[in-house]
Amino acid sequence: MADRAFALVDGNSFYCSCEEVFDPTLAGRPVIVLSNNDGCAVARNRFARRWIGMGDPYFKIRDLCERKNISVFSSNYTLYGDMSARMNTIYRDFATGEVEVYSIDESFLSVSLVSPDERVAFGRDLRATVLRWTGIPTCVGVGPTKTLAKLANHLAKKNDELAGVCDLTSAAARDRWLPRVPVGDVWGIGGAAQAKLSRIGVETAADLRDMPARLARSLMTVVGEKTVFELQGLSCLDLEVLAPQRKGCAVTRSFSSKVTDLPDMLEAVATHATRGAEKLRRNGLETGHISVFMHTSRFEAGPACSASRTVHLPETSADTLDLVRAAQAGARAIFREGFRYAKAGIVMDDLVPAGSAPRPLFEQRDRARSEALMEAIDTINGRFGRGAITPAAAGIRRDWQTKFEMRSPRYTTRVDELPSARARGL
């Protein structure tokens, strides 16, 4: 049995690249994609990077974008999710199914069966195939642990001479590269850990690898200790080919304009609960309680307020009407007049598989009827688009609705939004 090896593949400026695939006029031009509500820049292509910082609020850079002729898009998660699925199909071919989908644009592949001297060629072939079949440019990092694969991917992105593929399989390669990586760029080392490490003179990935594991544990808990082992080449994190059952589910949104009255708040909370119930049903899960929260803006002077309330259900449920009712009851209990609310949301945790929880002796509602109704609603919304049917409480789309003013078409998932092509000179 060969030693273990992992590859991490990710899409370069993934959201921007998705937009560029379907709009050839963007080629060679700066492009950014905004977060929900057109709030912040969350993706920048390589031409936009010199002007736009990650997370820059849009209202602060709007003029700059105009001056520099930067193309700006609202997030189009439907499109990005579909492109992501296409890429993972290719990865599964390359890694005989041994693929962990880590995020919308990153996947770990097992490459244990690829001999060490062929791993760079494997990476180049994978990149070329993904580019040809989806139009998305990628980088590939290879290593004996997931943390090293991640680090290799980071190096592939930052160093043009690597041509998009970096292999840290050999100890010699690690000795060459790890001293060049700031410790804060290591997967799992955030701001707090970086500050602690800096105080004891640990500044690079190589320093972290060479520090005593026990000291790492005392500074950064067992998570930091594992990171040290992983940098040494001792694999502590396995590939998770089957997505573990999710434990929680949240739907939260900032309002596009501040909410000050109860009817608007109730409508927003009902909309979030509706969406939450859909997510539960799609995952075959139920919840026994739902929490509601609302708060004012942390950037705004004036009276501040942050409140939350958990409401228990008589029995576990994924029924939209149950969840809307409970969420609104919670919202009524915590809503206070006189505040300019900036955000509200619902959170559900302790999720259980549908039908697995013990039922009360005397059922309070007709389960079969509820399930039939929800199935009908999901079918209709599946065919005609989300929101074709919603509970009346989720309302009629008022001012608080999240903004997506610059969203591109859903090219790959909606027949009425397919890209069109014109042939010239025939």
69 contacts DNA (rule: CB under 7 A): no
Residue 339 C-beta-side C-alpha neighbours within 13 Å? 20
User: Scanning residues 194 to 213, which ones bind DNA (CB under 7 A)?
Assistant: 194
- Share in percent of the chain as helix, strand, coil (round to 5): 45, 20, 35
Give CA–CA dist 216/222, Å, rounded: 8
**Angle 283-287-293 from CA coordinates, rounded to 5°:** 105
Spatial CA neighbour of 204 closest among 225, 223, 220, 189: 189
Strand partners, 73: 33
In the set 4, 39, 198, 315, which binds DNA (CB under 7 A)?
Answer: 39
Rounded to a whole number of angstroms, the minimum distance from the CB of residue 129 to DNA is 21
300 contacts DNA (rule: CB under 7 A): yes
Identify residue 308 by its one-letter amino acid code: S
In the set 16, 165, 193, 270, which binds DNA (CB under 7 A)?
Answer: 193
Give CA–CA dist 189/227, Å, rounded: 9
In the set 342, 374, 377, 394, which binds DNA (CB under 7 A)?
Answer: 342
Report the residue number, 64 or 223, with the smaller CB distance to DNA: 223
Residue span binding DNA (CB under 7 A) among the ranges 19-27, 134-142, 252-260, 417-425: 252-260
Residue span binding DNA (CB under 7 A) among the ranges 91-99, 172-180, 229-237, 244-252: 244-252
Residue span binding DNA (CB under 7 A) among the ranges 64-72, 81-89, 228-236, 250-258: 250-258
Give CA–CA dist 194/394, Å, rounded: 44
Spatial CA neighbour of 315 closest among 347, 279, 355, 276: 355
In the set 29, 68, 86, 102, which binds DNA (CB under 7 A)?
Answer: 102
Report the residue number, 31 or 216, with the smaller CB distance to DNA: 216
343 contacts DNA (rule: CB under 7 A): yes
Could you tell me the end-to-end alpha-carbon distance of the chain, in angstroms, rounded to an integer? 58
320 contacts DNA (rule: CB under 7 A): no
Report the residue number, 96 or 257, with the smaller CB distance to DNA: 257
100 contacts DNA (rule: CB under 7 A): no
Rounded to a whole number of angstroms, the minimum distance from the CB of residue 371 to DNA is 22
Answer whether 307's CB lies under 8 Å from 333's CB.
Answer: no
Give CA–CA dist 276/18, Å, rounded: 27
**Total number of residues shown for the chain:** 426
105 contacts DNA (rule: CB under 7 A): yes
Rounded to a whole number of angstroms, the minimum distance from the CB of residue 251 to DNA is 4
| Interacting residues toward DNA by CB under 7 A | 35-37, 39-40, 42, 55, 57, 59, 102-106, 150, 186-194, 220-223, 244, 246-254, 257-258, 279, 297, 299-300, 342-343, 345, 402
